[in-house]
Structure 1
């Protein structure tokens, strides 16, 4: 559905070809220095500013330093997490990073080449867009957006500013999985019509939160950022926000995006034409809003289908693996297992297996190379948006409780006003993300 910030035709034009970069006002009321060319590549020793270091941000700080970058800023609204992040960085590099609770200081600093976004989901796209508008390259954690509209804006912002923006889909850079996808594309298991993706876990009851005064160590207003303000509840921070639509995207957006990205990559598909959701919230009596039992089917115009199964209360996944993706061809199957893969013939006999090395470092190395060469990275924001959009569509189908018909051109919802209304969200006044 078109948006006030950028219409769909403009979005598609921006996706089709990157325009010449220019210095433009940054979102969230910050302005980039007009003397700084935003088409420049990262410095020989790139300097990064990390937004959010309580969880993934700390792992990414290690990966970026291992890959040869320096951490120039740690921005976290939790002063305890910021202190731990400082100790982590001080133990691995000589440069003492600046500590702040407001990531917008990173945007203001011309010495920072790269913004790393590892805050909660509702911040991912708004911060990434702000980074592009301020002339920074951006590494954004998955999912790259909280809703489809933000994903479109993130792609448009990256292309307009000429910035490298990558999503944290690490498997795109894992050698063994690249090899497996190459075999699928080369036809080694014949024409492939179906991919099954899954994620299983046993998550605890989050209880019923109590509204209370935010703790002294937390800047609750900045934590909420672009999301309309709500009172602080004592069972939200720092992980259970995933299970609330206001901030998160459920297990589908939390871990399902990794598996769906590999499935879409292997099948060579972009946007679905039909999305069906089944399941619900069955296990706990608590504040969780998102489903704990979720099965989603995506049909694509190339006569290909992807299914995803997410169980948040039963840890046994398909083939006894908690996470995986299986590709089913007319001449055999390939199953992604951990960082490697297995090959099966039509009698279900394993005829090959390759182990691989996972982690974040290889993905970060690839991203840093692209910030210098200005070539698109393995997990470019457009691919990130396409895979994240599957999560959004699966969640929307769940919320409206019916099958969605979608456009093969851009994934937009066809003929369903109630579902299409979930394409974007409301924002706190003055903080709606905008392409510069």
Structure 2
């Protein structure tokens, strides 16, 4: 534990020192970007979800593009011919005119790219989940806080008017004190045998794609998309959807870190995330009863009689329930809420998730899904996977990042990088 704390202290000191040195020499220094001036942005990842992020900031100056797939990179370069092209994001960060970085890579490379960008003095937008391990999530959040740079986790549903209206209803007390929250996602991942390996396509730099994790033979089962199924790179449905669906609970109820976590699912596979999972969290709330938050995936659902929606979130209060998905919500039982008048809007509508980040950089403002907030949701999803993999109810110490009753959990909590990679 002393090593963990020493590492944190080092990150804090080095992040501040490095960022300060960078900021003194560029227009990225606080207050020197005019609100009317376009940012110079470097984008790590140019296909799939990453391309949507590039499109989200295309109104600024895209001055650098990075992708381990030369075909994707060339295609993106046609859209932004003025941008310099890289396959290695570490080389991209050496480009001095970059003000901010957008990261849309797989989970296992989020932390190394994000912390490097922050320590170089760049503002960062990174896709969800924020990291691949709990220790990385905490270090990313701490580094962002210490540097004072503007961050936003790519949880785009957070910016919708619908989510804001749901939060307003819950906060209004219309449901009474909330006792439970249930969140569920379909998105099952079939368990598969570990790939044996195959030749790497000539357009892919697989070593750069692996980044900090220990090498395994290349397979199209990993690149470009199915990496999320495998523990080595992702965390299955829970880490994929946790930030989207638990967001409403974190936002409206101001929960932070759980005290206990336990999970059930099919027998644990050493390599694959489970096709279904149920995770039960207890969140302490000073001065009131702890909150029960339950996660379901792979077709599992809470036992309440509910409309047959897809992904969903259910708030259970003393006066009633609220069921919501990404676009609609209903108060239950409906007869008890006949004539219900929604509370006045208290949360301003978003100008757009990417636009919030850009605006905050230019005007020295804040974002609504910064790495401190996004890191807590990321940790929750990752911790559920840890509880499942060790097969025990975890008693969680959020300050020390340890399972107090389960030392074997540490192997999944802490990041482990191959030689040559560190944060």
Size of the alignment, in residue pairs? Answer: 406
Deviations for 1:278-311, whole angstroms, at most 9, x for unmatched residues?
11269xxx99611111011110112111111010
Cα distance in 2, alignment partners of residues 366 and 287 from structure 1: 40
Shift of 1:403: 0.5
Counterparts of 1:26-425 in structure 2, within 5 Å, are 35-36=25-26, 39-40=29-30, 42=33, 44-65=37-58, 68-87=59-78, 89-90=79-80, 96-201=82-187, 209-280=195-266, 289-302=272-285, 303-311=290-298, 319-345=307-333, 347=335, 362-407=352-397, 409=399, 412-425=402-415
Deviations for 1:86-119, whole angstroms, at most 9, x for unmatched residues?
23x34xxxx6222211112331122211111111
Counterpart in the other structure of 2:345: none
Shift of 1:335: 2.3
User: Over aligned residue pairs, what C-alpha RMSD do you find?
Assistant: 3.1
Deviations for 1:100-152, whole angstroms, at most 9, x for unmatched residues?
11112331122211111111100111111000011100000001011011111
Cα distance in 2, alignment partners of residues 350 and 200 from structure 1: 31
Partners of 2:243 and 2:374 within 8 A in 1: no
Deviations for 1:139-172, whole angstroms, at most 9, x for unmatched residues?
0000101101111111121122221121111232
Normalising by structure 1, what TM-score? 0.84
Normalising by structure 2, what TM-score? 0.86
Shift of 1:425: 2.4
Cα 1:280/1:84, change in 2 over 3 Å: farther
Counterparts of 1:5-20 in structure 2, within 5 Å, are 6=6
Partners of 1:39 and 1:161 within 8 A in 2: no
Cα distance in 1, alignment partners of residues 413 and 270 from structure 2: 24
Partners of 2:180 and 2:291 within 8 A in 1: yes
Deviations for 1:406-429, whole angstroms, at most 9, x for unmatched residues?
136576421321112321122121
Report which stretch shifted further, 115-124 or 211-220.
211-220
Shift of 1:175: 1.9
Any stretches of 5+ residues in structure 1 without a counterpart? 26-30, 355-359
Deviations for 1:191-248, whole angstroms, at most 9, x for unmatched residues?
1121111110355676652312311110011001111222212321111211111111
Cα distance in 1, alignment partners of residues 215 and 271 from structure 2: 19
Partners of 1:297 and 1:307 within 8 A in 2: yes
SS in structure 2 at match of 1:23: helix
Cα distance in 2, alignment partners of residues 313 and 209 from structure 1: 28
Any stretches of 5+ residues in structure 2 without a counterpart? 343-349
Cα 1:10/1:299, change in 2 over 3 Å: farther
Partners of 1:21 and 1:39 within 8 A in 2: no
Partners of 2:191 and 2:272 within 8 A in 1: no
Partners of 1:78 and 1:218 within 8 A in 2: yes
Shift of 1:61: 1.1
SS in structure 1 at match of 2:183: strand
Partners of 1:389 and 1:411 within 8 A in 2: no
SS in structure 1 at match of 2:85: strand
Cα distance in 2, alignment partners of residues 23 and 37 from structure 1: 16
Shift of 1:8: 6.1
Deviations for 1:263-283, whole angstroms, at most 9, x for unmatched residues?
22222210000101011269x
Cα distance in 2, alignment partners of residues 280 and 110 from structure 1: 50
Shift of 1:173: 1.7
